[in-house]
Structure 1
Amino acid sequence: MALMTCSFFSEVLGFNTEIVAIIPQATHTQVGLQGKASSDRHPTLFLLHGLSDDHTIWLRRTSIERYAAELGLAVIMPNVQRSFYTDMAYGPDYWSYLSLELPRIVRGFFPLSDKREDNFVAGLSMGGYGAFKWALSCPDQFAAAASLSGALNMNNDEHIARYPKDMQLIFGGEPLAGTKHDLLHLLDAGAELNGPKPLLYQCCGTEDFLYQDNLVFRDHAEQCSFDLTYQEGPGNHTWDYWDARIQDVLAWLPLQNRK
């Protein structure tokens, strides 16, 4: 795998921002690593970070580079600060950056496929929210989306109580139910669409403080007849849980070139 950190000027954000990119590389000379790469443009996983982290965290806390190498899968990890993947009420337009500018930028840098069937998004905690928000808002862009211990029920007042300053800066103190920020509303809207819907994968540890929110999302997704793979078991809001579960996500992804 070719690993690089890229800094570039974002016209949407109005300042330099960073990504970490893992790009497939066919190699048999790296000790302990079997690389795989297509001669065509690569399938891509956009992998999103949580509230307290940044674009480097998945690389530092898991073995995502090693896990992706055998699949010939590119992994793009952007930095969105504490934005909840949203055009902030009092801050930068991170949603517009993520959904409109980032795919174009990285496909200009690297040989990445723009085909829906080759594009996936996943994330943990705040990033789980971002992954489902992106896929449900833009179902024509992604074949599949995964949430690991995601903050999936933003109608829960506990989020506001837990992070009042962040919620004010991000959402401006407005109610989220029934808006474009409400994943349950996005499920309802997606159920009415005639076009393709992304496959969804959801997991959460039963000891996680977000477990009940995950049950709410699971039940609503099933009511809306989404193709949802749900997994739960012992676990908390910790990296040992996410390191194990991201391997499950990669095994679940509908990769066209999987042997």
Structure 2
Amino acid sequence: MALFQCQFFSETLEISASMNVILPQQKGKLFPTLYLLHGLSDDHTSWCRQTSIERYASAKGIAVVMPAVNRSFYTDMSHGAKYWTFVSEELPELARSFFPLSASREHNFAAGLSMGGYGAMKLGLSFPDRFAAVASLSGALDVNRLAVETFSNDIQHIFSDPSTIPGSSADLFALAERVAGSNSSPLLYQCCGTEDFLYEDNIRFREHCLKLELPLVYEEEPGDHEWGYWDRKIQRVLDWLPIEGI
């Protein structure tokens, strides 16, 4: 495997941007790709620094793209940059122009932790025609509650008014309903530690998806909001992804 530390100019963000990319060392093919998203207090280096993702990806023959999105919640911010447009539109196009990555739906996946779990689910539920499977690890999945109960500077900058979130493109519960109505959902994976402060949010999202009969695999076990848990569970995610035979 090769590890690229990539700096480039983003037309969407209008600033220099960064991503780390893990790439199999094999010529003559386009690789299946996992967009692996960081949490609120992390950046594009965190997955490589805190886990053995390079080694795990090598065993699967999959490329991994890890972008930096700051504290944006993978959203076109009310007072800030258009990080949702960046990660959902510009980033995949740039990554495929720089590296031999497949554009086929069956070869594209997303996963993330905490804020990144929200981002991964948002990608899959917003663009079921682009992603075959998405996974959330300890995801911050209920932004409706988070915006109301933790109306911090971050939330104000991102969403401005929490009353605008329910039913919008930022609301995973609403996105899940739309996908369920279209019968086009990607495969969904969700896990959360039972001691995690986001555990109840995860339970609400799980029950919502099961009620909608979406193809969700849910797992829980003792665990907190920490890297030891995520290092274990990203291995489980890679085993779960439908990449065998690609």
Same fold at TM > 0.5: yes
**Residue among 210, 220, 226 paired with 2:208:** 220
Deviation track 1:84-129 (CA, whole Å, cap 9, x = no partner) reads 0000000000000111100000000000000000000000000000
For residue 2 of structure 1, what is the aligned residue in structure 2? 2
For residue 32 of structure 1, what is the aligned residue in structure 2? none
| Structure 2 Cα separation of the partners of residues 65 and 92 of structure 1 | 30
> How big is the shift at 1:201?
0.3
> How big is the shift at 1:256?
4.1
| Structure 1 Cα separation of the partners of residues 46 and 181 of structure 2 | 36
Matched, 1:233 2:238: no
Aligned AA (1:5): Q
SS at match of 2:60: coil
For residue 142 of structure 2, what is the aligned residue in structure 1? 153
SS at match of 1:191: helix
For residue 75 of structure 2, what is the aligned residue in structure 1? 86
Matched, 1:170 2:153: no
For residue 185 of structure 2, what is the aligned residue in structure 1? 197
> How big is the shift at 1:39?
3.6
For residue 210 of structure 1, what is the aligned residue in structure 2? 198
> How big is the shift at 1:40?
1.6
- For structure 1, list consecutive stretches of 5 or more residues without a partner in the other structure: 26-36
SS at match of 1:7: strand
| Structure 2 Cα separation of the partners of residues 174 and 197 of structure 1 | 27
Are the equivalent residues in 2 in contact too, given 1:128–1:149 (CA < 8 A)?
yes
| Structure 1 Cα separation of the partners of residues 124 and 237 of structure 2 | 15
SS at match of 1:139: coil
| Structure 2 Cα separation of the partners of residues 238 and 159 of structure 1 | 22
SS at match of 2:134: strand
> How big is the shift at 1:162?
3.4
| Structure 2 Cα separation of the partners of residues 183 and 112 of structure 1 | 27
Q: Aligned pairs, how many?
A: 245
TM-score (norm. length: structure 2)? 0.97
Aligned AA (2:99): F
**Residue among 89, 97, 105 paired with 1:108:** 97
TM-score (norm. length: structure 1)? 0.92
| Structure 2 Cα separation of the partners of residues 12 and 116 of structure 1 | 24
SS at match of 1:181: coil
* Superposition RMSD in Å: 1.2
SS at match of 1:100: helix
For residue 19 of structure 2, what is the aligned residue in structure 1? 19
SS at match of 1:155: helix
Are the equivalent residues in 2 in contact too, given 1:118–1:256 (CA < 8 A)?
no
Aligned AA (2:161): G
| Structure 2 Cα separation of the partners of residues 40 and 256 of structure 1 | 16
Are the equivalent residues in 1 in contact too, given 2:144–2:162 (CA < 8 A)?
no
- For structure 2, list consecutive stretches of 5 or more residues without a partner in the other structure: none
Are the equivalent residues in 2 in contact too, given 1:3–1:23 (CA < 8 A)?
yes
| Structure 2 Cα separation of the partners of residues 174 and 165 of structure 1 | 12
Aligned AA (1:91): G
